[in-house]
Structure 1
């Protein structure tokens, strides 16, 4: 077996080199009767047969006292593509005859010459596939050798002269020598793990179809325990449970319950969980890999340097922490955090660079910030640099800073963002007031006019964009960055053609990620109709691009901030904008928003922010947006986004695929209604539908992807919802697909019907996740 496992782990090399010796594979581990039938040689009356499974093997019982000539058993399903010989290991309780039959692809039966088994001895018998035969019959021809693939092998105890009439033949294994491992072979690595007071020693026993795991349990104490073995499936996983008793070291044999044929491109994560009777628990994951799994990205972490292209980023506050002190001291260990950002696979970071004013009135980027910029670049991370804009500066003063910023950083920066949320920062509303009061937060005054501060901010933005393009015409310039209706008013005011993109910060505050607190029903408040009636993020994005066309220039849309805070709600915050999300909801909502953004015309999306600020103060909403806590431990969102960054690097919408959700059933108790009763006079309801999005990656021309998820608010109340959908336009992408749960990383086979280039999925049990389905060229 050690020899077999060594060969199996080098399956690609075996397949490629025809000069290597044949590979021995297990056709069946022979521990369970679930895949076997027995027979009593009914053409000769009187024989009795029994078949049972056990730790030693299949026990074939025979009794010829009442007559008969043979009894036997055979696998219910067998397909041997090619084999020089088969082998069976047996042990007989008494001397008895033994023979075999092979059923070939035409249905013709070939019977061997037979053996005599000795009592109590393990014997490995070679069953020739080339003869000689005692007889052959049936099928569609008269050929003298079996035609592959073999359909079945019959193993028989035969009545012999002067031999006891009754006994048992234990069949311990059935193997085959094949020229190479078939495409649907799987391989796994042995292990030894200590779990909750038990040592589990595992040995994979790969088979021609599927695999069997032999687990030898040894207790370090006197507590019984339960072993659970979990095989991932859509919806409810397949779980087998075994009782472990101290002193009993009999092996547990677990045959992997593949729902159909093995998928050569999948990697099956099988979880072993041990819980003793006092409540101690531990678990371990062992992995089976299909022969082609190494050619498929199933979500293993990739660093920023390993990812060539991506539309995903995160916000940082490095420039706020030149020293390890103050409210932002958590950002001081910059290399540690840059390494973690790289480990997560983000391609962009977004923040400003601090500048010092020199005695001669010129500006210089702080050395520590330039050094951080360089270190990010070394890790394959690109920085979107925010250039601060203050209403207290004159335009010449502002442009002086812009020039210094660009000239000193242009070797490391490709994207400059002019300003940041001028409705909140830069004193715009307070400097350019309206009738003696601060300007309105949304840029629209109660007398029906657009706020003066909006027009002034556009004036500064235009001046900055024009200068950057003059200095560095190859750089991308983005800006505005107010709330959505303000940006629309700004576009109407006339924005320079040198502003390549508009910045949007579509926080949901307390809503699921597909919703935003802006929409057409707030037109009276905002003085302009934006988004759609359902307050969807998709509607907002689409209305931006429609407005770009109306205002004379197609521009890109940049989401340089969005996020979900995990703070704890207090009485004082009960009427605020934010609500505290659970860490699991944060992970799911970030994932859903990123994936939906990728399906829409959004240039880049940046999550706010990478690490909790203010020591993760649980009572402060602004202190808990991170995917790292203030002690640098990882929240669940880190692992989810790490997986997402790996899977969707370089992905883009695939217009060649036609998507259709055909059924998205919900029990009446699952339907969600009102999310917010009165958001400034607008009622916002939950979305109960399903999103389906198609993607492709230019560097993976033999793959296509579809992501599917439910838009309902996160809840652990119900299990799953059945969803049916179609993916058209796949043409020859009809090899077995792989579905990846982007929340857990589990990958599993998906029941799909292919017909005329269209994949149909029926009643998929969809849970709280984004399911990414990979289709492969056949």
Structure 2
């Protein structure tokens, strides 16, 4: 080989032959390379260390040996030719080895490298070769792709027998642009006396971080940790920073154990910790050129085309900045936050006021809410109050005025709200001198009178709305599930398109509900399933619709998880106070299950903490925002879910099977509640896996997967193996997104027997969304 000065090339620099040289590694981090001592010959010593301008391969053959070398710890990109730039402090015999796809190692022809300049070694899969061994014996031709590369230095022929070879860069040659080069924005952060300036350098596959750490006047020794998210244990690389060393320039790159995915966004986390306990954290993201179609960290949901998720609001109760719902008064600010969260629906009441000249009209405050919501692309589910102490004819007059005044903005009308709690139905239509039963079933085995009267009002209201606005959707009933079933059996108008349910879990994980076959004696009717699951509840609705003659839709216009703090005074209360992180996890899990099941829309209750976020009050802590308008973790998790799944539909073509989901015996969960109206409710230890498609993105499919166990953070993970049939053409490299943290990473994946297979996925407690592409 002819020795020549090295040529500094940038990404996409053209060569005369039409190919281009692309950086693979800058050779500035010893962590990316392994020293080889040629142990089969014995006696050689040396090592690899970071040095100005590259990596110093040091060698000493005074004790014997034949060669030493280094090899990269990262996988090589599949290229026909590589370029290694080196410099020597003395005349050296340098060679290389390539291991092919069959495990056979081919050795090149030695090159003499002399001091005084740089030498570029050409490592070609075409050779020439001076020998080969291992793998498939007798094969003389190299079989791509390359599985490994070694750079070696031979023992000098004469003393001195020690020296150093400076390895300055590794590059690749290709006539096609790289598909897996990642890019990120430069950043600068200052904390605990240190200034950190980072720059992402694109490489043929991935990217390398060049990070300058500069101590300030008050800097103290610190540890800098760089974290690459993984499906299992996150990969952490740690550097010690000491002010005595002055400015330090670090080189680091993510390993991507399952391959670099040009469609994903990888968020690298940084943590700087001083010895005195001070700490700071920040993050920087790198992305492939195809990652823009589904951003992993969305910023706004105004452009959402369609969605089946929403949130409850109380603008109707806050026409003035006073009273218990005064927090809802800054309507524009809250609507902007709702749009930013990616919701499509808001649920609020509409009221009418009596005209001085007689009759009713839509209240102007509510009309302003409708206009403001429309400006932000939000749909309003309009709740119209129903009260037992209002005569039916007066109710219908008021209802007609509301519908006529709002039908230009409203497509969904909800008749009443939780009649077992509100509207005085149980108190007005009593049973044997006492308030009617909360579940609509009396101790003498009869359906409560209040249920019959509420059905009468509901039917009349649904018929009237359809007469005025036949194209609108009318939903109602709105009691707990067994009461709704009793109402359907009594006979509900065909003009009622959907049935409203509010399946709060109270203190259970989101896949569970406190209704099921075990409570049939209490409720006088069997609802749900034997395991008290939400999926079973929705399935039983479908069966009840078939039995009662009309296939209606199910609308979940309220559900949620409160974060109050238990004060020790109500041990048997319905609600338990969840941590803010558990609230985020549980909301996402329930929303996704609603998307996978035949649920028309799911609305979380409610967007803003009511009553000032009262510490010990369950009703005051359901919000995605605290009473001071700060965002809880759930806001970001729900926003991420909305942006990634807003247009998603269940994909019936996918045949998803969880083939293994082992749990350590210590991780098995048993009884959740010992006595729920004299019944026990057990935990679910299984895995949910739901397949989705997006009509606007036909080239991809999505799989949501999570463990149904209660959220506890006690153990690291469980191992899950899944198979997916029907998605054979979506066998591109998948990317997984942790819907709670936003971290994106590769997963273990293969195509086997025509099915996509994910084996031993280290599933943590957060739900994952895995995207497959053609």
TM-score for the superposition, normalised by structure 2: 0.90
Indicate the SS of the match to 1:736: coil
Query: Are the aligned partners of 1:304 and 1:379 in contact in 2 as well (CA < 8 Å)?
Result: no
Aligned partner of 1:254 among 252, 255, 267: 252
The superposition leaves residues 205-258 of structure 1 with CA deviations (integer Å, 9 ceiling, x where unpaired) of 443344432333222224211111111112321112222111213333324222
Indicate the SS of the match to 1:591: helix
Deviates further, 630-639 or 210-219: 210-219
Deviation at 1:399, TM superposition (A): 1.5
Query: Are the aligned partners of 2:735 and 2:746 in contact in 1 as well (CA < 8 Å)?
Result: yes
| Counterparts of residues 488-527 of structure 1 (less than 5 Å) | 488-527=485-524
Aligned partner of 1:242 among 209, 223, 239: 239
Deviation at 1:172, TM superposition (A): 2.2
| Alpha-carbon distance in structure 2 between the residues aligned to 1:34 and 1:126 | 20
Are 2:222 and 1:188 equivalent residues in the alignment?
A: no
Alignment match, 1:552 = 549
Residues 492 and 204 from structure 1, CA distance in 2 versus in 1: closer, same or farther, beyond 3 angstroms? same
Deviation at 1:326, TM superposition (A): 0.6
Aligned length: 759
| Alpha-carbon distance in structure 1 between the residues aligned to 2:128 and 2:330 | 79
Deviation at 1:329, TM superposition (A): 0.4
The superposition leaves residues 702-739 of structure 1 with CA deviations (integer Å, 9 ceiling, x where unpaired) of 11122111112121222222222222222111111111
Aligned partner of 2:735 among 738, 742, 746: 738
Deviation at 1:493, TM superposition (A): 0.7
| Alpha-carbon distance in structure 1 between the residues aligned to 2:478 and 2:213 | 61
Deviation at 1:39, TM superposition (A): 7.0
Are 2:737 and 1:772 equivalent residues in the alignment?
A: no
| Alpha-carbon distance in structure 2 between the residues aligned to 1:141 and 1:536 | 60
Deviates further, 415-424 or 155-164: 155-164
Deviation at 1:180, TM superposition (A): 4.2
Query: Are the aligned partners of 1:231 and 1:238 in contact in 2 as well (CA < 8 Å)?
Result: yes
Residues 67 and 303 from structure 1, CA distance in 2 versus in 1: closer, same or farther, beyond 3 angstroms? closer
Alignment match, 2:209 = 213
Deviation at 1:170, TM superposition (A): 1.4
Residues 100 and 656 from structure 1, CA distance in 2 versus in 1: closer, same or farther, beyond 3 angstroms? closer
Query: Are the aligned partners of 2:48 and 2:70 in contact in 1 as well (CA < 8 Å)?
Result: no
Deviation at 1:775, TM superposition (A): 1.5
Indicate the SS of the match to 1:117: coil
| Counterparts of residues 594-673 of structure 1 (less than 5 Å) | 594-673=591-670
Query: Are the aligned partners of 2:22 and 2:203 in contact in 1 as well (CA < 8 Å)?
Result: no
Give the RMSD, CA atoms, in angstroms: 3.3
Query: Are the aligned partners of 1:351 and 1:385 in contact in 2 as well (CA < 8 Å)?
Result: yes
Deviation at 1:748, TM superposition (A): 0.9
Indicate the SS of the match to 2:599: coil
Deviation at 1:425, TM superposition (A): 1.4
Are 2:50 and 1:54 equivalent residues in the alignment?
A: yes
Query: Are the aligned partners of 2:429 and 2:449 in contact in 1 as well (CA < 8 Å)?
Result: yes
Residues 160 and 240 from structure 1, CA distance in 2 versus in 1: closer, same or farther, beyond 3 angstroms? closer
Deviation at 1:421, TM superposition (A): 0.8
Deviates further, 86-95 or 496-505: 86-95
Residues 19 and 607 from structure 1, CA distance in 2 versus in 1: closer, same or farther, beyond 3 angstroms? farther
The superposition leaves residues 114-134 of structure 1 with CA deviations (integer Å, 9 ceiling, x where unpaired) of 55322xxxx443445799999
Deviation at 1:101, TM superposition (A): 7.5
Query: Are the aligned partners of 1:98 and 1:114 in contact in 2 as well (CA < 8 Å)?
Result: yes
Deviation at 1:263, TM superposition (A): 2.2
Deviates further, 698-707 or 19-28: 19-28
| Alpha-carbon distance in structure 1 between the residues aligned to 2:526 and 2:144 | 69
Aligned partner of 1:720 among 692, 717, 720: 717
| Counterparts of residues 115-126 of structure 1 (less than 5 Å) | 115-118=113-116, 123-126=117-120
Query: Are the aligned partners of 2:86 and 2:167 in contact in 1 as well (CA < 8 Å)?
Result: yes
Are 2:272 and 1:278 equivalent residues in the alignment?
A: no
Query: Are the aligned partners of 1:82 and 1:179 in contact in 2 as well (CA < 8 Å)?
Result: no
Aligned partner of 2:579 among 575, 579, 582: 582
| Counterparts of residues 103-502 of structure 1 (less than 5 Å) | 111=109, 114-118=112-116, 123-127=117-121, 155=151, 157=153, 165-220=161-216, 221-248=218-245, 249-295=247-293, 297-301=294-298, 303-502=300-499
Deviation at 1:293, TM superposition (A): 2.3
Indicate the SS of the match to 2:666: coil
Deviates further, 25-34 or 244-253: 25-34
Deviation at 1:626, TM superposition (A): 0.7
Query: Are the aligned partners of 1:55 and 1:252 in contact in 2 as well (CA < 8 Å)?
Result: no
Query: Are the aligned partners of 1:609 and 1:627 in contact in 2 as well (CA < 8 Å)?
Result: yes
- What are the ranges of 5 or more consecutive residues in structure 1 without an aligned counterpart? 9-13
The superposition leaves residues 647-688 of structure 1 with CA deviations (integer Å, 9 ceiling, x where unpaired) of 111112112111222222223322222222222222212222
- What are the ranges of 5 or more consecutive residues in structure 2 without an aligned counterpart? 1-5
Indicate the SS of the match to 1:226: strand
| Alpha-carbon distance in structure 2 between the residues aligned to 1:464 and 1:652 | 32
| Alpha-carbon distance in structure 1 between the residues aligned to 2:17 and 2:335 | 49
Indicate the SS of the match to 1:172: strand
| Alpha-carbon distance in structure 2 between the residues aligned to 1:670 and 1:80 | 40
Deviation at 1:401, TM superposition (A): 1.5
Residues 158 and 322 from structure 1, CA distance in 2 versus in 1: closer, same or farther, beyond 3 angstroms? same
Deviates further, 426-435 or 508-517: 426-435
Deviation at 1:383, TM superposition (A): 0.4
